[in-house]
Amino acid sequence: MEMEHFLSYSDNTDNYSNKITLNDYTQGESEEKINKNIFKSKNILEVILSEKDCNYQLLEKSGKENYVIKKSLELSSHIDEHYDKFNYNKRKFNKNLISNSLQSKNNLSSILFYNDYFNINIVICNKIYDLVKLFKTGLKNAPYMFIMYNENHFNSIDINDIDIIGDLENNLSKIDETMGHVDDPHYALENVIIFDIKPETIIYNLYLKPITTYKLDELVNYAKEFDISLVKGNGKKKVKKELYDDINLSKF
């Protein structure tokens, strides 16, 4: 049974996107320091490197563009040599797809790979006017990296720069979410990055066999073994499919 819908993250019906605002900060030109703390680029990889790569940080501005290109080639070589260690589904997320994607900017498949390579979980924050919508891209329990998209550029931000209502998890949207309280197509992530694969695609091999293989009691036992809650946030018991999804997600 196909399970290409895991990127639903939760069954939460609360959407706080219309209540998220961005604190004031100074704006500037592309790929320039806006102030001492904020750097902007049209390439998500470059934003990541500006935070995670010491070699990039030490370069003069004139050498950074070539470094980003070389880093893309390095990542392509890395996935070619170490593909198997990532436990990717070869049918849905093969090494050629990733390698080709890494040679261009801001593809979804590249972003999913960046999550694993840099051990981060990229949250793309799409800012329209004074509001911002948060799109969580990864499934694994890795540190969040918040990347703002505003006026055709990306920059990393601190979560403290965003005023949100409620807890962070309730403010995270699905990758393919286009509607919600902010009823504006500009808030769709497909207007920010390139969807070179279907956003609901599960890129990893599943831990469990197809769901039809299991009875509910068997999944309950797995959930207990892996310390997975049997109830949802509203106190209701999880149904079979919810337990199945949560068990698989816990093993990615």
**Angle subtended by helix axes 216-225 and 240-250, to nearest 10:** 30
Asked if the structure places residue 63 within a domain, the reply is: yes
Task: State the pairing for strand pair 153-157/162-163.
Answer: unpaired
Same domain, 93 and 23: yes
Tell me the H-state helices in the chain. Answer: 44-52, 54-58, 61-82, 95-101, 108-117, 216-225, 240-250
Residues 66 and 130 in one domain: yes
Q: Which tokens is 70 given?
A: 């070389």
User: Could you read off the pLDDT tens digit of each residue along the chain, which spans 252 residues?
Assistant: 444 444 433 344 444 444 455 554 433 333 444 444 578 999 999 999 999 999 999 999 999 999 999 999 999 999 999 999 999 999 999 999 999 999 999 999 999 999 999 999 999 998 877 778 899 999 888 999 999 998 899 999 988 877 777 778 888 888 887 655 555 666 788 889 999 999 989 999 999 999 999 999 999 999 999 999 999 878 899 999 999 999 998 888
- Whether 48 maps to a domain, the answer reads yes
Q: Do 106 and 151 fall within a single domain?
A: yes
Q: What pTM does this model have? A: 0.80
Q: Is residue 10 part of a domain?
A: no
Question: In this structure, are 41 and 151 located in the same domain?
Answer: yes
Classify residue 118: in a domain, yes or no: yes
Q: Tell whether 206 is covered by a domain.
A: no
Quick one: pLDDT at residue 135?
93
Instruction: Answer whether residue 73 is part of any domain.
Output: yes
82, 20 contact by CB (below 8 A): no
Q: What is the CATH classification number for the domain harbouring 75?
A: 3.90.70
83 and 145 assigned to the same domain: yes
In a domain, 203, yes or no: no
Residues 224 and 153 in one domain: no
- Answer yes or no: do 236 and 159 share one domain: no
- Name which of 123, 135, 96, 105 is nearest 17 in CA terms: 135
For 185, half-sphere exposure in the C-beta direction (CA atoms, 13 angstrom radius) is 1
Helix-, strand-, coil-residue percentages of the chain, each rounded to 5: 40, 15, 45
- Rounded to a whole number of angstroms, the CA Rg of the chain reads 19
Tell me: do 145 and 239 sit in the same domain: no
Check whether residue 119 and residue 51 sit in a common domain: yes
Residue 196: its pLDDT value, please? 95
Same domain, 99 and 215: no
* pLDDT at residue 191, as a whole number: 86
CB 7 within 8 A of CB 175: yes
What lies within 8 Å, CB to CB, of 164 at 6+ separation is 16, 19, 20, 171
DSSP 8-state symbol, 194: B
Q: Are the C-beta atoms of 78 and 67 separated by less than 8 Å?
A: no
Q: Looking at the structure, tell me whether residues 136 and 226 fall in a common domain.
A: no
Report pLDDT for 12: 44
First to last CA, the chain: 18
3-state secondary structure of 51: helix
Inter-residue contact 164 to 20 (CB < 8 Å): yes
Long-range contact pairs involving 52-59 (C-beta distance under 8 Å, separation at least 24):
52/118, 52/120
Number of domains in the chain: 2
Domain of 222? 211-250
What pLDDT is stored for residue 7 in this prediction?
A: 42
Q: What is the pLDDT of residue 64?
A: 96
222 inside domain:
yes
Report the pLDDT value the prediction gives residue 252, as an integer from 0 to 100. Answer: 85
For residue 29 the two structure tokens come to 């030109």
Residues 164 and 224 in one domain: no
